[in-house]
Amino acid sequence: MATAAASQRSALLDSLARLLRRLLVPVLAVITSLVIGGIIILLSGGDPIAGYTGLWRGAFGETNSIIETLIKTAPYIFAGLAVAVGFRGGLFNIGVEGQLFVGSIAAVIAGHAVSLPAPLHVIFALACGALGGAIWAAIPGYLKARTGAHEVITTIMTNYIALRLINWAISREGPLRDPRNPLPETFRVLDTARLPVLIEDSRLHIGVILAVLAAFVVYWLIWRTPLGFEIRTVGLSHSAARYAGINVRRTVVLTMAFSGALAGLGGAVQVLGLKGFFTTGFNVGLGFDLDCGRDARRKPAFWGDAERAALRHAGRRRGHHAVAYTGSARHRRHHPGTHVDVRRGAAADARTLPAAPAGRRGGSRLDQRELGQREGMTCLTSASSSACSR
């Protein structure tokens, strides 16, 4: 009994130590970025304390700020999950931007052209958005599996194809243009397709909850299902996956389709939860913020994407707080964008420092050892132990 109790205590302490090590790196990254940004602001004649106070107020200082931060967080969660799934399958899906666009347009068409009761219409429009993103991502996935074309090149190409097609579709003579509106906008979705609002008289919609649920679903699928095992195995080693009987080509296409479905769902949530129509400039930039999935080699989690969205939203929506409280009047007059750039740089440092392989948890050697232990690649299957490969 005493031996069993001691073993349980040792296992608990080991788990707590691993958790603390995982939390230590992002915390140190944020502190380091704030110190570096503060030094730069101080050297440029500003007040770093006041600047960071304004940054905090912009994201969390008021109730409306918190609501807007949550709204901005949702699409970043979907985009980060899309990139993370691709990374897990050994694919760099840089086409999330185009998949967001296609998902948004598919949701608009489904929300306008089809008449259904409110709950069914919302589900149908979201499903169409996810399907649109999945089909658009499956194209470079098929090219990768069939011809070996690199997904970075093909997804960048599909980004611009999607952008040009949508710009034409909402142009003056485009089929999706609202003829009653002089601006390049699509027709509006029906009220039955709009996402429910969580707080009355606010823009906070149920899409925020859907994004959090999507993170848990992705975690379950990647780590608790046979498909997730196939995706991870193909991402680690194609030869080992083939030896284990996994259809590598099919898994590559499915991985890209699943990644695109998440991106398309994010675009659908944006258009159904906010404006109810698509216009030029809407959702631009969401898909290119690929550092949402920066730690995708590890288990994907939504908290990193939420932190990313909060920092970015603080800079975009309430950046004037940070600028207003830093620097002399003369410096602000002659260099109005200096502290904005410093603020963005500090946020970027906080997001990218944890991705440095040599500085994460004591070095790459430890990373490799932990990676091998977690993936269990010492034996892919009980029937094919010799198939292990890094």
CA distance 263 to 76: 9
Task: Please check whether residue 105 lies inside any domain of the structure.
Answer: yes
Task: Please check whether residue 78 lies inside any domain of the structure.
Answer: yes
Least confident of 131-145, 183-197, 308-322, 369-383: 369-383
Is the pTM higher than 0.85? The answer reads: no
Query: Phi and psi of 272, rounded to 5°?
Result: -80, -25
- What's residue 337's pLDDT? 46
Residue that is last in its domain, among 306, 332, 353: 306
Token output for 51: 């600047």
Which whole number is the average pLDDT over 97-120? 92
Q: What is the pLDDT of residues 206-228, one digit of tens each?
A: 999 999 999 999 999 999 999 99
Token output for 88: 């897990």
Do 174 and 244 belong to one domain? Answer: yes
Task: Please check whether residue 38 lies inside any domain of the structure.
Answer: no
Residue that is last in its domain, among 306, 321, 342: 306
Do 274 and 383 belong to one domain? Answer: no
Least confident of 42-56, 260-274, 275-289, 333-347: 333-347
Task: Please check whether residue 52 lies inside any domain of the structure.
Answer: no
Do 226 and 370 belong to one domain? Answer: no
Do 302 and 380 belong to one domain? Answer: no
Number of domains comprising the chain: 2
Q: What is the pLDDT of residues 255-274, one digit of tens each?
A: 999 999 999 999 999 999 98
- What's residue 61's pLDDT? 79
Q: What is the pLDDT of residues 346-381, one digit of tens each?
A: 555 555 555 554 444 444 343 444 444 444 443 444
Do 283 and 169 belong to one domain? Answer: yes
Q: What is the DSSP string of 114-129?
A: ----HHHHHHHHHHHH
Task: Please check whether residue 272 lies inside any domain of the structure.
Answer: yes
Q: Which residue, 145, 136, 143, is CA-closest to 96? A: 136
Do 259 and 385 belong to one domain? Answer: no
Task: Please check whether residue 229 lies inside any domain of the structure.
Answer: yes
Do 269 and 388 belong to one domain? Answer: no
Residue that is last in its domain, among 263, 278, 306: 306
Task: Please check whether residue 173 lies inside any domain of the structure.
Answer: yes
Domain span holding position 101? 58-306
Sign of the CA dihedral running 263, 265, 268, 269? negative
